[in-house]
Amino acid sequence: MSDTPAYETEILRTGSELEAVDSIRAVVDMLHRGEVVALPTETVYGLGADAFDAEAVGKIFTTKERPSFDPLIVHVPNKRALHDVAQVPEELERLVARLTETFWPGPLTVLLPKAAALPDVVTAGLPTVGVRMSDHPMFKRVMKHFGGPLAAPSANLFGQLSPTSCAAVESQLSGRIPAILDGGACGRGLESTIVRLHATEPKPTIEILRPGPITAEDLKPHGKVIFAERNEDVEAQSPEAPGMLASHYAPSTPLRLLSSPQDFKPEEGKRYALLSYRGQEKDGYLDLHEWDEISILSPGSGRVAEAGIRLFHVLFQLDQQGFDEIVAEPVPDRSVGKAILEKLRKASFNQ
């Protein structure tokens, strides 16, 4: 991109308290100057800018090569600040209070009517805004010192994998931004759950637009939980739907998601890596082929929660190794598994 300024991207460390203090001060200065900086959150790294500085927010779109019709999430420093960026309709007040009390700070993004003062560029002209409050200790410190809301989408180039480490951000955005705040590996590893709320009777409806670390089971005590219907035709035209393009989050190595072991028909001479769910023979994939590499999503617990934390990290590592294809086992379609499956489907060329 010719109009992207070339930066010498600084890696700001936070390993010791001394480093953290200096790094956070440097980041906050940059944000006040209208720069765009990569920051760790508990889900994935974000690309942050002052949400009330339309020019700075514009830079997020150019840095990511993100289409201007794709709205950004706004991160608030505390629960009260929700009202600076969004309007809470009276009929949803109780539900919003319950959800923010229960899940904030944390990986839940709530869509609400936007506050008039929030620049339209943030929401890509939509009347609603997605708001969340991150639980990452370094992100919280940046927010506290900055004092206002930050617009921050995932810190990847549009359509590529979301980064869950400083190295993964560097591999995509080095030279495009002044700094990355290195807060280590992201604890949750998957983007936040996005919900839309409806004031229905006898109880409110919580519609999951993007499955993530906060699951349907987690939300159930607070309302009737439904999943937004995906309609690719509508999605292609409508900026109303999040993550709207069918192919998204893709590694550069072609990825194939299998439904069963019989789906795999290897081609002669190709180098295949297996993205295994639990690394167990009884699942039927390990012995299917002489894999060039086997990476296991959940080697410890053999559960979807661990697989979710590791998904983007393992894909990033596999993507560095130049295989002809990454072949992914399916994971169970429940709990965090729903989010993992959605990412794998979007990343795969055969779905």
Closest CA to 178 of 319, 1, 23: 23
Q: Which does 44 bind (CB under 5 to 8 A by kind): ligand TXA, Mg ion, none?
A: ligand TXA
What stretches of the chain show up as alpha helix (H) in DSSP? 17-32, 54-64, 82-85, 93-103, 137-146, 166-173, 216-219, 232-237, 304-319, 337-347
**Interface stretch with Mg ion, choices 57-65, 92-100, 154-162, 229-237 (CB under 5 A):** 154-162
Min separation Cβ 151 and ligand TXA, Å: 9
Strands 224-227 and 205-210: parallel
Pick one of ligand TXA, Mg ion, none as the site partner of residue 197 (Cβ within 5 to 8 A by kind). Answer: none
| Shortest Å distance, C-beta 117 to ligand TXA | 16
Q: Which of 190, 231, 224, 200 lies closest to 338 in space, CA to CA?
A: 190
Residue at token pair 């002209």: 125
Nearest to ligand TXA of 26, 245 (CB atom): 245
Q: How far is the CB of 134 from ligand TXA (least distance, A)?
A: 6
Return the range that interacts with Mg ion (CB under 5 A); candidates 151-159, 208-216, 312-320, 321-329: 151-159
CA dihedral sign of residues 330, 211, 64, 186: negative
Output the smallest distance, CB 102 to ligand TXA, in A.
Answer: 17
Q: Are 176 and 302 in contact (CB under 8 A)?
A: no
46 binds, among ligand TXA, Mg ion, none (CB under 5 to 8 A by kind): ligand TXA
Contacts (Cβ under 8 Å, ≥6 apart) of 106: 42, 132, 133, 135, 213, 214
Q: Is residue 183 classed as helix, strand or coil in its secondary structure?
A: coil
Q: Are 207 and 63 in contact (CB under 8 A)?
A: no
| Chosen from Mg ion, ligand TXA, none, partner binding at 324 (C-beta under 5 to 8 Å by type) | none
Among 41, 123, 154, 160, binds Mg ion (CB under 5 A): 154
Least distance (Å) between residue 70 CB and Mg ion:
9
Between CA 25 and CA 130 the distance in angstroms is: 27
What residue 111 binds from Mg ion, ligand TXA, none (CB within 5 to 8 A, per partner kind)?
ligand TXA
Residue 251: name its binding partner from Mg ion, ligand TXA, none (Cβ under 5 to 8 Å by kind): none
Contact 112, 95 (CB under 8 A): no
Residues in contact with ligand TXA by the rule CB under 6 A: 41, 43-44, 46, 70-73, 107, 109, 111, 123, 126, 128-130, 152-154, 191-192, 194, 240, 242-243
C-beta closer to ligand TXA: residue 70 or 207: 70
CB 326 to ligand TXA: min, Å: 22
Q: By C-beta, is 41 or 154 nearer to Mg ion? A: 154
CA angle 226/230/235 to nearest 5° reads: 130
Binding residues for Mg ion, per CB under 5 A? 154
